[in-house]
Chain A
């Protein structure tokens, strides 16, 4: 321990916080491997069937993808602002940021939902209903698209729930203190999910153009 005197409660809180953060980082390592398996599949098939993947990429709605990227980046920005606000003890700013983050998260999901719906209309759902004319390996691309963005969306839903929980946690009626550590932990998760999208976006939307 350093020479600075610290009272026991503060020491324990700091200890607890470090433990939680390490826990979150370890969890994120798990997540990396989780998505990693699918990225490997993507890379492998893309190198075998570059043309089918290019065709697949051209079926993507570039506008939606780009909009979603922007939405997520802005949401991450507000998450970071929220984190700062929490550290300063500024409850109002924190809650404002969290509301924005949650709304942006939902906007992301709405846009994604719209995209999925239009894929259904175009007959791009792999399986028996696949109607889209194109190379025979196109369903491979679409399966990976749905699996990877679907799991990402699932993470987004969990993230929105976590942010909603933070809002509840930071409500002035419930707790005296502003939650600092929980915000940091959820923030880590949120940024991570954002990062995954930063990889998904070019891989699915941009490669064939």
Chain B
């Protein structure tokens, strides 16, 4: 598997970060960004499984079109739990907190993040929010959907809305801490010679994501706070009975949540740029344009929130402007897709597991993005809003895109994190299973949506039955695809072959130190003399 001789394999005096101190206390009080990344990895895996169980429950309920009030009420709680957990407790923190923490400081040649204690605090705050949300779910759940629209959530919903909202509120601070930390780290902690335009695109992506985290999350916090005031004390600013406007809630909510969808894709785009270059041994096509595209997405992303409200009775002109801006924010994404394709040209391509995930990302993100463009087209959104078409759109991007990238990142950096290799063929098989299962699950949902099946329906007209059965079948395949890595990665952690510092022959700084890295990452601070993707395809060809 080893293709290039490691760039440097310094003899290690010091034990690596995993073995330095094995006590539980040393983990729970650690300030080491790598350990914090691993803590997040475990926590997020747990939350993902919970969200997936809710998904399995929903898909099971949708196997038959009939249902009754009990089924409906349970179903409504399931999709709320699924949405809340998957968004705020899995996908928003996913790549930033795990790989951002683990890799980013190494990728810029730093010994740690700028504020290591704040970094640990972020994990604890995240846990606290998680406990609140789990309590709410355990106590009986909430049935508002992840969007918490008022006045349903504030006045009519029965369930533990306050508890759930406070959980999300608290977790928001974790996002803010992490984002703040990365921004300052990238500004202040770069190794000598690591200029802005020598940063790997992964770092650019995390940096842009952090800016969104820091600027958008507080708006969510204040929105949920006002909603909770209304629910708890009957003193709302969204209450139509005293002249409040439920649409204001939606505006504030989407002002956070649309930028948040870019929180959930930019890190994936960063990872994929690393994967495609490494496994085709080519510098990224159009590095600067790729970096600026990331910034453009982050910036324009703040201006399109109204596209979630085309039929909410926002004004006609608002609708037109938000539609136009939604088209424009898609252009940088298109640039990225084309540049990734161009990167493969005249490369030296090897389809190892991380690369399969990377290519899967490009394919599914493109489909998800193009259907996003369909939703941005006003008359089409009038028909498709609130249907399964939207559900399919965002699963294509979030599961097909971001989750693929997350798995790619996990497989790419696993040898660095654990110092071990995994079984490559098993990994490839699971990547393919996920790809096939995914399409089988969510492609039928595009059709369902166009035929008019509304989302958040536990009971549906019989003509939608066949497609729903197909979708559930796909989810089972998908589930198997996600369970496989759990086994072979665990096996690899204990039994895998040693990886060496640089099993993929990659050029990033993180590969210049041992696997697993020592506590301070580098024996001596690296000095950077060239851009991030100094690959040469001719040399790699044997």
Is B248 a contact partner of A27 (Cβ separation < 8 A)? no
Q: Does A2 contact B (CB under 8 A)?
A: no
Q: Say yes or no: B218 contacts A33, CB within 8 Å.
A: yes
B226 in contact (CB, < 8 A): yes
A128 within 8 A of B: yes
Please indicate the chain B residues that have their CB under 8 angstroms from the CB of A37 in the complex: 218-219, 222-223, 226, 252, 255
Quick one: given A137-B243, A140-B237, are A29 and B184 in contact (CB under 8 Å)? Answer: no
Answer whether residue A61 sits at the interface, using C-beta atoms and an 8 A cutoff.
Answer: no
Contact of A45 with B183 in the complex, beta carbons under 8 Å: no
Contact A38–B243 (Cβ < 8 Å): no
Closest to B235 in A: A126
- Chain B 199-217 residues near chain A, CB threshold 8 A: 214-217
Taking CB atoms, residues of chain B closer than 8 Å to A147 are: 225-226, 229, 237
> Secondary structure of the A side of the interface?
helix
- When distances are taken between beta carbons in the complex, the residues of chain A under 8 Å from B187 are 22
A119 to chain B, nearest CB (A): 13
**How extensive is the interface on chain B, given as a class?**
20 to 34
- Indicate if the CB atoms of A34 and B242 lie closer than 8 Å: no
Is A122 close to B, CB under 8 A? no
* In the complex, B188 has a CB within 8 A of chain A: yes
Say whether A33 contacts B180, CB under 8 Å.
no
B235 touches A30 (CB 8 A): no
Chain B residues near A142: list those with CB within 8 A. Answer: 235
Given A33-B218, A33-B219, A45-B237, 6 more pairs with CB closer than 8 A: A30-B218, A37-B226, A37-B255, A41-B248, A136-B243, A143-B229
Q: How far is the CA of A48 from the CA of B188 in the complex (A)?
A: 46
Q: Point out the residues of chain A lying under 8 angstroms from B229, CB to CB.
A: 143, 147
Do residues A30 and B236 form an inter-chain contact, with CB atoms below 8 A? Answer: no
Question: Contact string, A44-55, partner B, CB cutoff 8 A, digits 1/0?
Answer: 110011001000
Closest Cβ of chain B to A34, distance in Å, is 4
Measured between beta carbons, the chain A residues less than 8 angstroms from B221 are 34
| A34→B214 CA distance, assembly (Å) | 10
Partner of B184, one of A19, A126, A128: A19
A40: chain B residues at CB < 8 Å are 248, 251-252
Cα(A45)–Cα(B226), bound, Å: 14
Give the contacting residue for A18; candidates B115, B188, B225, B243; CB below 8 A: B188
Interface residue? B114 (CB, 8 A): yes
B420 to chain A, nearest CB (A): 35
Closest Cβ–Cβ distance, residue A150 to chain B (whole Å): 10
* Contact, CB under 8 Å: B114 / A23: yes
On chain B, the residues within 8 Å of A90 by CB distance are: none
Question: Can you list 7 pairs linking A and B with CB atoms under 8 Å apart?
Answer: A30-B180, A30-B217, A37-B252, A41-B252, A45-B244, A48-B243, A127-B234
| Cβ-neighbour of B214 out of A29, A126, A137, A143 (below 8 A) | A29
A15 at the interface (CB under 8 A from B): yes
Count of A interface residues, CB-CB < 8 Å: 36
Q: Judge if B16 is at the interface, Cβ distance under 8 Å.
A: no
CA distance A142 to B217 in the complex (A): 25
Tell me the bound Cα distance from A207 to B391 in angstroms: 46
Do A41 and B226 touch (CB < 8 A)?
Answer: yes
- Considering the complex, which residues of chain B in the window 147-195 have a beta carbon less than 8 Å from any beta carbon of chain A? 176, 180, 183-184, 187-189
What residue of chain A has the Cβ atom nearest to residue B233's Cβ?
A127
CB <8 Å contact, A34 and B245: no
Chain B residues whose CB sits within 8 angstroms of the CB of A144 once the complex forms: 237
Distance to closest chain B CB from A177 (angstroms): 21
Report how far A48 CA is from B243 CA in the complex, Å. 9
Report Cα–Cα, A30/B217, bound state, in Å.
8
Known: A30-B217, A137-B243. A143 touches B180 (CB 8 A): no
Q: Would you call A136 and B219 a contact (CB within 8 A)?
A: no
Q: Which parts of A2-53 form the interface with B (CB within 8 Å)? A: 15, 18-19, 22-23, 26-27, 29-31, 33-38, 40-41, 44-45, 48-49, 52
**Known A136-B243, A137-B242: A41·B218 in contact at CB below 8 Å:** no
With both chains docked as a complex, state the minimum distance between the C-beta of B298 and any C-beta of chain A, in angstroms: 14
**A126 vs B239: C-alpha distance when bound (angstroms):** 12
